[in-house]
Structure 1
């Protein structure tokens, strides 16, 4: 026995030590890889954000120049000067505007050219004297950034601000063309090594890059892009042989993405090599451990697991399960005792189920018998009193009285729906409304209509609201039923505008309802019965609660607790 105990402890220790060693190495390897990757990604994000900052400055500069020359007085009145001034003076005006445009370029490396195009006169002034320079300006109809050919332009129109309700024709267009080569050179600042690359992706179709971009990677990346200008997004891309992480930053003003991607294989290869060496070195130990563990599993653990699985089946309600396999000598007595125990439990549950069904049937019959007989007498006397002069009232009273008692006499189920219970209560309220001045309302959310509910749980509370609330207060005439659902419970609130109860009376009533025995006599038995049924069926958190409402009457809250869903232990 002592040797077996030591052997078992050794096996446990060996398994623990083996798993701990593998786990520690795995965790260290993962942490090393993750730390290295996070550092790479952090450095790449910083570089990408740095380039985005430069781009934001370039974009702002181009916008500023476009707006500046669109609102410039010399530009606005240039065509008038051409007409009013002499050829020499108008030429000097032209030279002055062109010189100012060229002076602007001297202070900016990112702007390639600036041009101004008057649409009606087809006059064009630009720092670029080539004939093709004016072509992008002719088809411009709105301000903003546009890709024309292989160049990025910012166009500003005059009038720059349109008056409300007016659509003035464009007089001239100011275009600021960015230096494409300069923008491509910026991509070098967004990468950190030879394993990285960067490119611009414009208007979901145009690519700018100094290096070649793999088509498969480009398609995969562009399918994942999301226009979120505030943050830098990270994506993962995998091929059969390579792994990449991709960073993208959306530049909203020019509708473009700045994208960088980095191949991680070269960085993680040394760590992968160390991991392979380690696994090779402990392979022999692991093999020996498997032999030891298999021996222990075959002789002991398998039978223990079998017993645990059978106990779990019994816990889930399967009382027909038996152990018929692996009846070795060491476990034979234990398995036989388990089979005997389950047989006894099965017999006990059958007996308990029979007793429970009998008790519930008797309880339901008792509830049906508790319905106030005076309610029937009063309804029949009402029918007799109005039969001669109001046949319509007789028909309505008879219809709802028949529906009311048909529900009672055919009630042989232990569960109904919330909708049917409220319909039953509504029949009662309609009958009462026919015989006295009374208003009622029922609010049931459609999604709760089919909620399972024990029968005869709402009507006693409604009857109590009328008998002890409305009939006890002169002028009282309102009853409402509101059903709501929260995360923890279903609530059914029955309110009336009757005489209500004081705070001391409410506390006294709640204390009587919490008693294990019903009140003496018949007063309060109905509410006590409802409270006990709620607690027995739906848990101790369920039950009746009482408050004074805004009318001054009493509100009775039927609280049905929703059981919490427990996770796997």
Structure 2
């Protein structure tokens, strides 16, 4: 069997080219996606951290200003200005404090409202006209820390700093209270600045109060954050990063706690939307990989069609030529270099066929010459014995003499006329009948039967095909055994295969003798060996004429004698039909 190693190696090389390219593209795509995610995460984290730090720095500045305001000497002395009217002008001091508050409020844009309370005199000065004094309400407000307050739909964040800083339950020890308020819009501006960086959307979450955001927040995302306790406050100097998959949408969520407000700043990014440009690149890469795969398959098919198939076709034609089909020709048209190979193969096959036919004809002529030589070597004792039989029976049985002369003349007339020619099986049967009639007259023990279907009588066969076999059965079988005397000739046909058997009840041969006889008959022809010369001649004439599947085979039979089987494969007749 031919192994197509070149084709296999080329396919392996193509696979080695495509597979690393596919793996490299896939790895590069995956790596680029990871790099973009990490870059996005790092950028968003740094921006959030910067935003929180900037906001906390601004709040610390406000805390310092508020503390200075609460500790201001004029504000502290204003509480006792009613007791010393002869030394201080109360109204003038109030005007000074108002101007100071207004100036400080205008100097710091974050300040929404500045207010000073004096619990001892129950008086308030504020930059807002709506400021009112209520000690009970003031006592309910957290001191020294930021808190949120909503009044008339306006949200503010306030810081109360007292002087002194330790507050009695009834605020009786407090000299003055400075309150700084910033608008809730400040947090919206912080969120707006954070959103402008392009790292998603953000909002502030206050426990017990809710969200502050510039836009609507996805409710499912909020519920997921609450469920996972992401919005719980935690002391961390850096943002916490979490990835959520909600209804097939992947979110990158970062949170950072604001110590001053006690709020959680949350920033979230919808990764699929952010990575959409990268997804386009991903589709492009996948399309390129698909194109490479299709190109590889197309190249393999083209190579198979234009190389592997013509090469396999040429190999089959060479194998046919090797099995004896010398008429095999390459008729495939490829319009490639293989056409030249096919043309050269056809020339070679034609010359080989011509050479084989010449050799075959020479062999046939040689076989015919050998057989004619064999004819001249027919045992003359057979003729002498027949003539002696005629002389001895001339006076006793004129009928036997007539039968002997008739069959003997017919026998010799046939072998001298048909030598080297092709005849029919019917004429061969008549020859055998004449021969066996002559032998039965000489040997009264001899009896024979011929059972060959009439459909086989027209089969063209070489002349003197059966005579050497029947003669061998009489001379070497029946005459060597005292009680022997039966010969049976039968024929059978199956399509183009014809089988003729010749049985006798003579001495027969052992298994070793049968094998030795088969080896000698099937071997090359040798005229020097007289024994079995006729059988060998018949076998080789059949093989030369009908092919190697035709010839003789030998075996025993049910009588204990010897059987010769003739196999004839008449392919020429089958082709003509």
**Greater Rg, structure 1 or structure 2?**
2
When normalised by structure 1's length, the TM-score is 0.44
When normalised by structure 2's length, the TM-score is 0.44
